Chain A
Amino acid sequence: MSCIEIKNVTKIYSKNNVHALNNISAKFEMNKFYVINGKSGSGKSTLIQILGILDKINNGDILINNKSVIEMNEQQISKLRMEKIGFIFQSFYLDNCLKAYENVMLPMLINKKINKSERKAKAIELLKQLGLEDRINHYPSELSGGEQQRVAIARALANNPDIILADEPTGNLDPENENIVLNILKNLSKNGKCIIMVTHSQSAINYADKVFFMEKGVLKDENN
């Protein structure tokens, strides 16, 4: 069963009339690691933003757990993002004033399903799972790029979402840290998550269960 599906999605940037996504349809399932590969400007980042309901589409439909999100209001979309989707970006967007575990706790603060007493333990557990047990009380400025990205991954996992959307998550990392992050994402998919990663890096392809190619706003299956 697909956890996220797009049907005939078109996105046009009206400012310069660019067709960033051109009548795209795709289904993404749980337990899978999807890599969307393509050159800069091919529309892959737009696709991940659309999948994460960060931007509006001109045509088509987006279904998350078979429910259309097109007619949802800001409140409903925020709730959906909080419960179902975790984001990882090239830049880590960590709060420099908060320690690693406090950054991981940030999404939990708005989740009523997680008790106050559980938050810290859960954040620490996530950081431990990502190999950051000795960095729990460190501030982002005291961490390496790879470590910061792992904190960002832990934060994306904080509310236990089904879907992880990653936009060039290894873009700022050296090859060693790139492999660490890719392995983490791969393991997450094995543990039941649906990972959709957008990248222009070729090494990510080796970890993917399925690879898509984006070209001029059109999504192509690796088999096509």
Chain B
Amino acid sequence: MKITDYISVTIKKVFRKKSYVFSIFLIALSILVISLTDSLINSINIYFNNAAENNLSFRTLFVYDNSSRETSEVINELSSYEHVISVVQEKSFVTSTIINDEIKGNLDGQIMLYGINNDLLNSLVDGKKFDADSNYTKEIICPITFYPNSVVQYFKDETNNIIDGSNLLNKKLNLYFRNIDINEEYEVIGLYDSLYSSENICYTSFDNVLRLNNLDKTLIENHQYIVFVDKQENIQDLQLKLLDNNYYSNISGKKNNTSINKIASYGVTISIFTLIFAILIILFSDIKAIEEKRSYYANLKVLGYNNKNLLCFIIIENLLIFIFGFILSLILFIISLNIIKHAFRSILFLKKTPIIVNYKFFLILFIILLIISLLVGLCSGIKIKNINIIKSIKE
């Protein structure tokens, strides 16, 4: 008997029997859950990592200088360290202000105005290039998600208070600087991904922050410097090197991995249970099929089928159910991804989440379940070998 004969007979049976179709659907569903979980965990993980990398405060060090050297001398020295991309005085870095705008209903609260240079801006802001020569004095970069009037934590259910930053793009905001009692108008010229940031940080140029802070007579001169580092992973190394040269430093913000780890652990649990479920489906549908079809297989033996023929039938049946289940899961996976993508786009803080498809994981999953299908088929075939024709036919 040729393999094509086995396949053509089995395909007819697989699509005509409800229990087989049900098994195919269950296998597809299990693979779908596992692959979707993996994809979502990877996507969220990469998104959070990218967002954390984009968050400047995670790459910002406050460095204290105990010597009484000139500011320019210290800035030059700190700039010479490896992985340092920019150094400024604290005075050029941050000031606070109050938004006092005609869109008052929504935008009535405190923001932090941070100084930044154009290189840093280019690394933060998507879709806009900031020329090295331009000096942005009355322009600001706002977060994509804006939390007026509140200090909120990520994942805290305050979605009603979130304002889509894109609504502010190209608009002018009236900012009131409380410490110096002046109002200034700023145009929103760009947006940055504000995940992990709950302080409503807006960026403007260093010079602008310095100008505003110089107007504040209450501000005390200190020896604190702001050091921007190229990557988060280099911060610890840099801190040690700074310490060797008597510079004490603190990191501005630190990523909290609890939520991500929690999501990942849920995902792994779901995947493991679903994988076990998929294996059980393959196993039980096979055992059930053998029990149900004992008399059928016995009859095939009566017709002249030998054990090898029956083993081939069982293995091909198993493989086809699994392969059809896998193909169905792939189709469902593509559809689901598009739905998720669409859903993410409508959720403000998930808008930029990349959807990652791990083909390697798919391949590994395929191979694992293929081997299990083959093994289960082989075990069932051994069971069939010992079938008692007379007893089974009488059943």
Select which of A87, A97, A109, A111 is within 8 A of B13 by beta carbon. A97
B17 within 8 A of A: yes
Select which of A52, A97, A116 is within 8 A of B17 by beta carbon. A97
**Min CB–CB distance B343 → chain A (angstroms):** 40
User: How many angstroms from the CA of A184 to the CA of B201 in the assembled complex?
Assistant: 93
Report yes or no: B390 in contact with A55, Cβ–Cβ below 8 A.
yes
User: How many angstroms from the CA of A19 to the CA of B314 in the assembled complex?
Assistant: 37
**Min CB–CB distance B38 → chain A (angstroms):** 35
A110 and B304 contact, Cβ closer than 8 Å, known pairs A49-B390, A89-B393, A102-B12: yes
Report yes or no: B304 in contact with A107, Cβ–Cβ below 8 A.
yes
Of A1-9, A75-83, A198-206, which stretch is located at the interface? A75-83
Report yes or no: B13 in contact with A54, Cβ–Cβ below 8 A.
no
Closest residue on chain B to residue A86 by CB atoms: B303
Number of A-B contacts (CB under 8 A): 65
Report yes or no: B303 in contact with A81, Cβ–Cβ below 8 A.
yes
B166 within 8 A of A: no
| Chain B contact residues, majority secondary structure | helix
**Min CB–CB distance A47 → chain B (angstroms):** 12
Chain A residues lying within 8 Å of B112, measured Cβ to Cβ, are none
User: How many angstroms from the CA of A75 to the CA of B307 in the assembled complex?
Assistant: 8
Within 8 A of A (CB), among B298-323: 299-307, 309
A75-114 CB contact bits vs B (8 Å, 1 = yes)? 1001101110001010101011110001000110111000
A116 and B5 contact, Cβ closer than 8 Å, known pairs A75-B306, A107-B304: yes
**Min CB–CB distance B18 → chain A (angstroms):** 10
B16 within 8 A of A: yes
**Min CB–CB distance B362 → chain A (angstroms):** 31
A98 and B12 contact, Cβ closer than 8 Å, known pairs A55-B390, A109-B5, A110-B1: yes
B86 within 8 A of A: no
Chain A residues lying within 8 Å of B309, measured Cβ to Cβ, are 78, 110
A52 and B302 contact, Cβ closer than 8 Å, known pairs A74-B307, A93-B393, A95-B296: yes
B1-45 CB contact bits vs A (8 Å, 1 = yes)? 110010001001100110000000000000000000000000000
Chain A residues lying within 8 Å of B5, measured Cβ to Cβ, are 109, 116
Report yes or no: A78 in contact with B306, Cβ–Cβ below 8 A.
yes
User: How many angstroms from the CA of A159 to the CA of B303 in the assembled complex?
Assistant: 9
Report yes or no: A54 in contact with B306, Cβ–Cβ below 8 A.
no
B389 within 8 A of A: yes
A148-172 CB contact bits vs B (8 Å, 1 = yes)? 0000000100010000000000000
Select which of B13, B304, B389 is within 8 A of A95 by beta carbon. B13
Question: Can you name 12 A-B pairs with beta carbons within 8 Å?
Answer: A54-B390, A74-B307, A78-B301, A78-B305, A79-B304, A81-B302, A82-B304, A83-B304, A95-B13, A102-B9, A110-B309, A116-B5
Of all A-B residue pairs in the complex, the 9 with the closest CB atoms, nearest first, are A82-B304, A78-B306, A93-B299, A97-B13, A97-B16, A81-B304, A107-B303, A109-B5, A110-B1
